Structure 1
Amino acid sequence: MTPFTYRDGGLHAEDVPLSRIADQVGTPVYVYSQSAIEAAYDRFAGALEAELGAARTLVCYAMKANSNVGVLAALAARGAGADIVSEGELLRALAAGVPADKIVYPGVGKTRHEIAAALKAGIHQFNAESLPELELIDAVARALGVRAPVALRINPDVDAKTHHKISTGRAEDKFGIDADALPEVVERLRALDAVDLKGLAVHIGSQITEQAPFRQAYTRTAELYRWLQDAGWPVDRIDLGGGLGIVYRDEPAPDVEGYARLVRETVAETTDARLAFEPGRHLVGNAGVLVTRTLYLKQGRVRPILVVDAAMNDLIRPALYEAWHELKPVARGAGADELTQMDVVGPVCESADTFARARPLPAMRAGDLLAFFSAGAYGAVMASGYNSRLPVPEVMVQGERFAIVRRRPSFQEVLSSEQVPGWLGRPADAAPDRAPPDTPVAGDPAASAGTRKTG
């Protein structure tokens, strides 16, 4: 069930008209439904607890999907931990109220400083992905006088049958330790006194819509876990990663309960391990939209071209992954069923700044609002400042209320982090000492992040 529905001819996020948010916050703007995030988490965690028991499961939200502190706080209040891949994500998770002992830290390129920060915070575990990384973790832990909890991330050489750019468990991928190299790695671990081997981890990719890859990877991981125990290692946990997909277009709807049964059959019934999970997109992907405003309707040579104020720097997934996002007008007028194929593009000076080609849409005029669906994951978090465009604000909705959970900065704030080298002097045409004010956006309350109620 989507939290974005039409009422009285207008698209709403829960009980808030998207047009009201666009008018007050400006466009483009990301809008997230708190209720949808909570519902997705409750279903996922509830299915696992029903099959495995609450004491045996730890759900660590993969915050790479959407690291806004408002989103994190909503999940933390539900009992979620966090899956982080940088010191910045560690600090965000802690700031949002995620307990340190519910944080797992995978990633192939952890730095000495990041490892030290995570150890000082007291995280649940590192998911180590190579022998050199294990040696660095050991050295940092020794210097701090602590022991580092570690799970070995295994690469099981399983094709997740997803987009090649988001597959992580094949032999040629950069992630994890080759399963066949596990005996060599654990033998080296005997000399690393500051590393405390806790178990294994596996993650084979993202947006997985079939269960067969999970079954193959989890069965292999359970075998390796039992081998470790037989070899005398006192391991007690397995991190099964994430990857469960969402519906963008015509994918099969994820079978959450079936996934939980698969985990029980492949891992829970064959090992005594406590189990961690790292869902990301599955919890937030369909809980968010990107609202954009039409700038022009250009009559192209092949078909009409709809130019909107969102761009590839705001939502890069179509340019990066050829990703599909459903598009719907925010206002549903009398001619809503009379569709014309048109291209939808942004203002960035790149041909890749194209969101959709030959997409059937109702008549659109300059000033009309358009919503990109399934934009809650890998949207704002992957945005950039390309073409010196300002970051997109983010809004969270709960019932009749909405709050700005990331405001749009001013150009002065963005420029304040840059400076001309002293040896270049002051350019002759430099701006005056007092920079001109930003061009205002009608009704934009970007300076305030207060909660608002519609009505």
Structure 2
Amino acid sequence: MDHFLYRDGALHAEDVPISEIAAAVGTPFYVYSSATLLRHFRLFDEALAGTDHLVCYAMKALSNLAVVKLLGEAGAGMDVVSGGEYRRARAAGVPGERIVFSGVGKTRDEMCLALEGGIRQFNVESEPEMRALSEVAESMGVVAPVTVRVNPDVDAKTHEKISTGKAENKFGIPIARAREVYAEIAGLPGLKAIGIDVHIGSQLTDLEPFRLAYQKVAELTEALRADGHDIRRLDLGGGLGIPYERSNEAPPLPLEYGQMVREVVGHLGCEIEIEPGRLIAGNAGLLVAGVIYVKQGEGREFLIADAAMNDLIRPAMYDAWHDIVPVREAEAGAVMTPYDIVGPVCESGDTFAKGRMLPALGEGDLIAFRSAGAYGAVMASEYNSRPLIPEVLVNGDQFAVIRRRPTFDEMLNRDTIPKWL
């Protein structure tokens, strides 16, 4: 569910007409619903009610400071994968004890940053990383709390570019080697193992891969405890999918996911962490674009929008589907036209959709890409020297620009021409 609905023929974000935002900030832009972000966070929090748990929002999905602050003030922890994301979380007021640091390539500088600023745990992913972290922590006179990310070799049955838990993926340590790795950690002076971490992929629409992975984690927990390790926390990752195509069957609900977690690992008495990103942010955002031209091609019509692949790269990168709707609701019985919806970037890959059925549209009309809150703005670039587009946050009948569109001068002035030119 989201809070983007038609009222009197006009698409609204909560109580604000999309056309009103477009008039104020220009197109294209991203708009996020506070009510949807909070609702989705609370669905996860409620799904694990009765267990000791922390929902850590995966910031890589959408990391604007206003969004992070909104969720942090609601009680969310944060899952970060870089020093930059860690700085964002802290700048948004999230305390270090609610920040989990994931990622395969943490640098010593990033380790130092988190140890100085406060950290809930590091999810370590390799032996070289854990040895480096021990050295950094020991040099600072502290002990770093760690979990080991284990790779359970479970096929998440998702897109190959967002699968993370198979043997050929770069993430984690093979679960078969986990006991020897934890034994090494026990001998490292700068580390204290407190739990286990696992993550198998993103946009999962079936609970069975989760169940298989978590069963392996439960068995490993008991084995590590038998070896004398104090395993008291399980970081179960994220990955639950969202319905990008409204006509498709909906993925499992957070409540169903929470029940499965209880069934598989509830008997262990561990604190549970989960790291949802897409399901919290995905349906909480729209990309709104204007129509530049409608071009007649060979046997097709191209709707050329002012948004492009540099603004929303998911269709070009993943062949991802986004429902696309007119901001002005089609009248009952309106004739629908198939459009290939494309952007102005000089790439054939700058194609959002082919043959989408929409009411007749023309220059200046507005369209909205649904489910664009996750992996939209965070993956944007300035390709073709196109400035990054604004982000807008709505709260009831209010809206605010939470990242403005830079000017061309600001974009150009970041470059420096050497003196010899």
Query: Fold match, TM over 0.5?
Result: yes
* Shift in Å, 1:175: 0.3
Change (3 A) 1:190 1:47: closer
Pairing partner for 1:221 from 210, 217, 222: 217
Q: Partner amino acid for 2:124?
A: A
Aligned residues of 2:186 and 2:192 also touching (Cα < 8 A): no
Aligned residues of 2:95 and 2:118 also touching (Cα < 8 A): no
Listed as ranges, the matches of 1:1-400 within 5 Å are 1-49=1-49, 52-53=50-51, 56-249=52-245, 250-269=248-267, 271-334=268-331, 337-400=334-397
Equivalence for 1:436:
none
Q: Partner amino acid for 1:221?
A: V
* Shift in Å, 1:337: 3.1
Aligned residues of 1:30 and 1:394 also touching (Cα < 8 A): yes
Q: Partner amino acid for 1:391?
A: L
Q: Partner amino acid for 1:268?
A: G
CA distance in 2, matches of 1:206, 1:215: 15
Aligned residues of 1:335 and 1:362 also touching (Cα < 8 A): no
CA distance in 2, matches of 1:212, 1:175: 20
Q: Partner amino acid for 1:196?
A: K
Q: Partner amino acid for 1:358?
A: G
Count of residues in correspondence between the two structures: 419
Change (3 A) 1:251 1:115: farther
3-state SS of the aligned residue for 1:403? strand
CA distance in 1, matches of 2:156, 2:189: 35
Change (3 A) 1:335 1:363: farther
Q: Which consecutive unaligned segments of at least 5 residues does structure 1 have?
A: 425-455
Q: Partner amino acid for 2:259?
A: R
* Shift in Å, 1:332: 2.0
Q: Is 1:415 aligned to residue 412 of structure 2?
A: yes
Change (3 A) 1:224 1:333: closer
3-state SS of the aligned residue for 2:375? coil
Aligned residues of 1:326 and 1:372 also touching (Cα < 8 A): yes
* Shift in Å, 1:225: 1.1
* Shift in Å, 1:334: 3.6
CA distance in 2, matches of 1:73, 1:326: 28
Aligned residues of 1:336 and 1:362 also touching (Cα < 8 A): no
Aligned residues of 1:319 and 1:355 also touching (Cα < 8 A): yes
CA distance in 1, matches of 2:12, 2:281: 17
* Shift in Å, 1:335: 6.8
CA distance in 2, matches of 1:251, 1:165: 22
Aligned residues of 2:206 and 2:251 also touching (Cα < 8 A): no
Equivalence for 1:443:
none
Give TM-score scaled by structure 1 length. Answer: 0.91
Q: Partner amino acid for 1:389?
A: R
Give the RMSD, CA atoms, in angstroms: 1.1
* Shift in Å, 1:74: 1.0
* Shift in Å, 1:414: 1.7
Aligned residues of 2:244 and 2:322 also touching (Cα < 8 A): yes
Moved more, 138-147 or 340-349: 138-147
Aligned residues of 1:303 and 1:343 also touching (Cα < 8 A): yes
Q: Which consecutive unaligned segments of at least 5 residues does structure 2 have?
A: none
Equivalence for 1:452:
none
CA distance in 2, matches of 1:191, 1:422: 54
CA distance in 2, matches of 1:336, 1:32: 31
CA distance in 2, matches of 1:336, 1:119: 61
Aligned residues of 2:151 and 2:171 also touching (Cα < 8 A): yes
CA distance in 2, matches of 1:36, 1:195: 39
Aligned residues of 1:285 and 1:377 also touching (Cα < 8 A): yes
3-state SS of the aligned residue for 1:146? coil
Q: Partner amino acid for 2:64?
A: N
Aligned residues of 1:160 and 1:205 also touching (Cα < 8 A): yes
Q: Partner amino acid for 2:394?
A: V
Aligned residues of 2:381 and 2:388 also touching (Cα < 8 A): yes
Give TM-score scaled by structure 2 length. Answer: 0.98
